[in-house]
Amino acid sequence: MVRQLTMIAATALTLAPLAAHSQAKPGELTYRCVSKDGKTYYSSTLPQECVGRPVEQLSTSGIVRRISPEGDEKERLAKEAEAKKKREDEAAAREASRRNSALLATYTSEQDIDEARSRALVDNEKAIKEIELRIESIKKLQASYGKELEFYKDNNKPPARLQDDIRDAEIDLQAQEDLLAAKKNDANHINAKYDDDKKRYRELSRRR
């Protein structure tokens, strides 16, 4: 008797989800999946236990549609990439509009751009001259340290102060030479910037 009751209960548990599915209203869908622990789940919404698992979508008309978690993930990633690109394109368009507005507010003619270029190049050349003077000054200082160092040739160790001064001068010289190279390269960047400004100004002027 107990065995018969157990079999009846087991059968009822097995048929319960199917019965629930058969009672669903026309057009409604039922989701079915097998979880990691081997249990089968049925629900009118996607069960939490089905996330990341293959899912079957059952219609009341008996149509079974299998949903692949990998396919869904690819679709999600594709949508995210598309949305990200759209945001980036919109941000780029806003930035271009801002730069164009700033350009038209800054210059009233191409001559204004040429004059601004000339001022920037003059300022850059002035900075180069100042750096070259500092380099010349450091080299003179190094020469004086070299003469002072000659007094200690006969196996006499130069004082710590002199060694520190020589080391500091070498560091300063390297820093100024690096700065000089950067400033000389700035002239190319300045010309490129104002070439671009002039090109954009012409294009924007034609649209007005």
Burial of 130 (0-12, 13-18, 19+ CB in 10 A): middle
Residue 62 is predicted with a pLDDT of 64
Residue 25 is predicted with a pLDDT of 52
The structure tokens listed for 127 are 């900075």
Contact between residue 56 and residue 32 where contact means Cβ atoms under 8 Å apart: yes
Nearest to 55 by CA among 29, 83, 26, 21: 29
101, HSE (Cβ side, Cα atoms, 13 Å): 6
Measure the CA–CA gap between 150 and 147, rounded to whole angstroms.
5
The structure tokens listed for 137 are 């000054």
Ranges of H-type helices in 40-159: 69-106, 110-149
- pTM score, whole prediction: 0.55
The structure tokens listed for 35 are 């979880």
Contact between residue 167 and residue 142 where contact means Cβ atoms under 8 Å apart: no
Task: Bin 36: left if φ > 0, else alpha if -120 < ψ < 50, else beta.
Answer: alpha
Measure the CA–CA gap between 193 and 116, rounded to whole angstroms.
11
Measure the CA–CA gap between 127 and 69, rounded to whole angstroms.
62
56: Cα separation from own chain's centroid: 39
The structure tokens listed for 61 are 């008309």
Residue 49 is predicted with a pLDDT of 74
pLDDT per residue rounded down to tens, the chain (208 residues): 444 534 444 444 444 444 444 444 544 667 788 877 888 877 777 667 777 677 777 776 666 667 665 556 677 778 888 999 999 999 999 999 999 999 999 999 999 999 999 999 999 999 999 999 999 999 999 999 999 988 887 767 889 999 999 999 999 999 999 999 999 999 999 999 999 999 999 999 888 7
Residue 64 is predicted with a pLDDT of 66
